[in-house]
Amino acid sequence: MNDVRESGFKRLTRLETARERLLDRTDPIERVESVGLVGAAGRVLAEPVDAERDVPHYSRAAMDGFAVRAADTFDASRRSPAVLRRDETLSSGTATRVHTGSELPDGADAVVMVEHTETVGSEIEVLDPVADGENVAPVGEDVRAEKRLYEPGHRLRPSDLGLLKSVGIDEVAIHERPTVGVVPTGEELVQREPEPGEVVETNGLTTSQYVERWGGKATYRDVVTDDRAALRAAIERDLTKDIVVTTGGSSVGERDLVPEIVDDLGVVLVHGIGCKPGHPAGFGVVADTPVLMLPGYPVACIVAAVQLLRPALRQAGHRPQHPHPTTEARLDRKLPSEPGVRTHARVELRADDGDDSPTAVPTRTSGAGALSSVALADGWVVVPEEREGVPVDELVAVEHWEGAP
């Protein structure tokens, strides 16, 4: 069993390779549910959506003013206005008061803006002519009935929901969110005020919240102690989920039992990743379910979750693999890194007067257990495997991983 825990650490797997292997074993979820528009924001369509009615569904005034027959305003000018009688019904030589959005009365084909008229008793003087259709929104000007609006795979935004409601759609068919069992492990972890030798559980909570942000549905389990039978039962319990995630117990110590249990139940495919922090991460497959093993140190857990769990959830949830938004910044000190290992250096961004680019100030370049170095950072700088550090004053891309859905 020691070979299972230690073998991956003798030769680390490149991060891209590990990610590709995980995605190869992560199937898109094909379960579909019908959801009302209020609960559909951020969800991914499983079926195409066509408009059920025209928008607008009636001819309406696009301006405040008077509905008219355009022919009655021909040759109107300020020196020689067209004089029309005000009436509630429209006929030749009359005008009807309308407001923006009002239904166009029968017989009208244009609207004269109110500022282009003068009222004289029961009559109006039209000071500028209008053409047929001017200042009128015809039926279907915005959307025609049966128009294809969205294809499967589209992630619904708030503006999309407004459009769907306007065309008569109340529910949409969407992919169910991938389900994830999050199992924090470690005999030292507690959910209460810690005694000496105890540590407050944070990895499971943090990972569960990321699962929800990244489009999954997390089940945050109670802490499981470092016991083979208990860990085995916890993993087996969540094999009904689409993905199982454990936090802690993934390294090579005497109490790091998760890799050998996963290997006993199924197969470990990657253990030990060329990623700093995060190299004790790994994953396997049990009963066709990916089991992702995240490290116990908080920063390493977060880095591994962002680099592995996020893309797996996006694939399972039919969402594209969008990169993180970035900000170009100038490094204020040298960043060391280990060749062959991808380093994620946490940085704070500071604006400098007179400089086009902000300054990236490392909050900490090492220490996978310093949770505050991530929580108080604005992002991180990725140093690729082929580089040995980044010199001071170099322009770097700061990845805003925290805000990326």
Give the tens place of pLDDT for each residue, 23-41: 999 999 999 999 999 999 9
The whole-number pLDDT of residue 9 equals 67
In angstroms and rounded to an integer, the radius of gyration of the C-alpha atoms of the chain is: 31
Per-residue pLDDT of the chain (405 residues; tens, 9 = 90+): 445 555 556 789 999 999 999 999 999 999 999 999 999 999 999 999 999 999 999 999 999 999 999 999 999 999 999 999 999 999 999 999 999 999 999 999 999 999 999 999 999 999 999 999 999 999 999 999 999 999 999 999 999 999 999 999 999 999 999 999 999 999 998 899 988 988 999 999 999 999 999 999 999 999 999 999 999 999 999 999 999 999 998 888 888 899 999 999 999 999 999 999 999 999 999 999 999 999 999 999 999 999 999 999 999 999 999 889 999 999 999 998 888 899 999 999 998 766 678 999 988 655 555 677 777 889 999 999 999 889 999 999 999 988 777
Question: What whole-number distance in Å separates Cα of residue 12 and Cα of residue 123?
Answer: 87
Are residues 278 and 304 in contact, defined by beta-carbon separation less than 8 angstroms?
A: yes
pLDDT value at position 351?
A: 86
Give the DSSP letter string of 252-290: SSTT--HHHHHHHHSEEEEE-BSEETTTT-EEEEETTEE
Q: What are phi and psi of 296, to 5 degrees?
A: -85, -30
- Per-residue pLDDT at 402: 84
For 79-96, give one letter per residue: b (16+ CB within 10 A) or e.
eebbebeeeeebeeebbb
At 215, list the tokens: 């489009």
Q: What is the pLDDT of residue 66?
A: 97
Whether the Cβ atoms of residue 285 and residue 259 lie closer than 8 Å to each other: no
Q: Yes or no: is domain 35-53+145-175 CATH 3.30.1360.120?
A: no
Cis peptide upstream of residue 56 (ω within 30 degrees of 0):
yes
- What local confidence, expressed as pLDDT, does residue 2 receive? 46
Q: What span, in angstroms and rounded, lies between the C-alpha atoms of 186 and 315?
A: 30
Tokens of 51: 């408009």
Give me the CATH topology for the region 60-137.
Molybdopterin biosynthesis moeA protein; domain 3 (2.170.190)
Burial class (CB in 10 A: 0-12, 13-18, 19+), 218: buried
What's the pLDDT score for residue 255?
82
Among 250, 311, 323, 402, smallest CA distance to 15 is for 311
**Half-sphere CA count of 50, side-chain side, radius 13 A:** 6
Give percent helix, percent strand, percent coil of the chain, each to the nearest 5: 25, 30, 45
- Which three-class secondary structure string do you get for 154-174? CECCHHHHHHHHHCCCCEEEE
Long-range CB pairs of 33-38, under 8 A, 24+ apart, other chains included? 33/173, 33/174, 33/176, 34/171, 34/172, 34/173, 34/174, 35/171, 35/172, 35/174, 36/170, 36/171, 37/161, 37/164, 37/165, 37/169, 37/170, 37/171, 37/172
Phi and psi for 177 in degrees, rounded to 5?
Answer: -75, 140
Q: Cβ distance 55 to 142 under 8 Å?
A: yes
165-195 burial, b for 16+ CB within 10 Å, e for fewer? eebebeebebbbbbbbbbbbbbbbbeeeeee
How is the chain split into domains, by residue range? 2-31+177-316, 35-53+145-175, 60-137, 326-399
Distances (CA, A) of 148 to 57, 151, 167, 372: 17, 8, 11, 48
Sign of torsion over alpha carbons 395, 396, 400, 405: positive
Query: Which residues touch 216 (CB under 8 Å, ≥6 apart)?
Result: 177, 178, 179, 180, 242, 243, 313, 316, 317
Alpha helices (H) along 75-202: 158-166
Closest-CA residue to 347 (of 398, 396, 300, 306): 398
pLDDT at 368: 58
* pLDDT tens sequence across 167-217: 999 999 999 999 999 999 999 988 999 889 889 999 999 999 999 999 999
Identify the pLDDT of residue 134: 97
The CATH H-level superfamily of 2-31+177-316 is MoaB/Mog-like domain (3.40.980.10)
Q: What is the pTM of this model?
A: 0.85
Same fold, 2-31+177-316 and 326-399: no
SS3 string of 297-351? CHHHHHHHHHHHHHHHHHHHCCCCCCCCCEEEEEECCCECCCCCCEEEEEEEEEC
Domain spanning 326-399: which superfamily?
MoeA, C-terminal, domain IV (2.40.340.10)
